[in-house]
Structure 1
Amino acid sequence: MTTENSGSIFPLGNMGPSEWFSGEVHIQGLVAPDQMENLYNVGQVTFSPGARTHWHTHPIGQVLLVTEGKGWYQERGKPAQVLSRGTTVVIPKDVEHWHGASAAHKMVHIAISNVQNGSTVNWLTPVTDREYAEVGQ
C-alpha cells in the first residue's frame, strides 16, 4: 500500500522489511533496474525517528541524496556523520555501513544504487541499540 508523504514530492511508499531495517521505514521505488539496462536502482527511503538500516554493503557502491530531516551515516569503525537536507554521501563498493534518522527527527533520502549480478545490496546484522545510541541524538 502506498500512502501520501506530506511535504515530500514523492509518495511515502511501502513499509521496508524488518530483515533490512529497525523501526518504521518506507520505501518508494523511483527507477527500477530493468528501466535502466540493469545498471542501477533509485528509490526514496523515509525513516521515522530512530529508524535505521541494518549494517550492509553495496557491490558497486551507492549515492545518498538527503532531502529532508536529520539522520546519521556511519561506516564500520569510523565516527558517524550527520545527515541533513542537502547532504550527499558517496559510499564506495564493499564498505560496511548503516544510515537512518536521528532519534528526534525523521529523515528522507534518495538512494541511487548500482547493480552487479542482479544485486544492489548485501544485508548484514542489525545496528544494535547501543551502537545507535553511541552516535548521538
Structure 2
Amino acid sequence: MQRYDAGAAATGSPENFTGSVRVESRFQAQEPARVGGATVSFEPGARTAWHTHPLGQTLIVTSGCGWVQSEGGPIEEVRPGDVVNIPPNVRHWHGASKGASMTHVAVAESLNGSAVTWMEQVTDDQYARGPEAADRRVGP
C-alpha cells in the first residue's frame, strides 16, 4: 500500500486557467499504472482552458457550484456529490460558476506520458453564456 500526503498547493498556470485556481496534486501512480489525481479549487468565475484527455477524465465535485461544458454541448451545472465522466479526446472545460467557488477531485490516466492536452482559453463570451437552464445538472 502507498499512502499519499497532500501535495503542495500550486497556483493554476495562467496558460491553462483563467482566474484564481489552486491545484493540489494528490497522487500519481508509478508505472505500469498510469492514473493520477488532483484537488482543484476555483474561485468564482475561474475556469480551465479548453483541453482534452487521451483516456478521459473523471471529476468528483466536493464543494460549491461549478460549470462543465463539452464542445458543442450546453454548459451544465455541477454541485457537491456530482461525478462527471468526460470521454477520451473530448474537448471540454470546467470551473466555478459566476457567483460561487467550486472544488473537485480530477482523475485522469496518462497515455504515452501525457494525461492532458491544453488548448486556448475559454473566452469571457463563451463563459458568460452560463447554464442554458437553471435546473440543468450533470449527475444524479
Whether the TM-score (by the shorter chain) exceeds 0.5 is yes
Partner of 1:53: 48
**1:74 has 2:65 as partner:** no
2-structure distance, mates of 1:38, 1:22: 31
Any unmatched runs of 5+ in structure 2? 1-5, 135-140
1-structure distance, mates of 2:65, 2:21: 14
TM-score, length-scaled by structure 2? 0.85
| SS of residue matched to 2:64 | strand
Partner of 1:109: 104
| SS of residue matched to 1:67 | strand
Question: How many residues are treated as equivalent by the alignment?
Answer: 127
Partner of 2:127: 132
TM-score, length-scaled by structure 1? 0.87
**Alpha-carbon deviation of 1:81?**
1.0
Q: Deviations over 1:52-107 (max 9, x none)?
A: 00000000101000000001000011111101001100010000000000011000
| SS of residue matched to 2:25 | strand
1-structure distance, mates of 2:67, 2:19: 14
| SS of residue matched to 1:100 | strand
* Contact 2:7-2:25 within 8 A present in 1 as well: no
Residue 16 of structure 1: which of 12, 18, 37 is its match?
12
Any unmatched runs of 5+ in structure 1? 1-9
- Percent of counterpart pairs with the same letter? 41
**1:123 has 2:118 as partner:** yes
* Contact 1:70-1:85 within 8 A present in 2 as well: yes
* Contact 2:8-2:25 within 8 A present in 1 as well: no
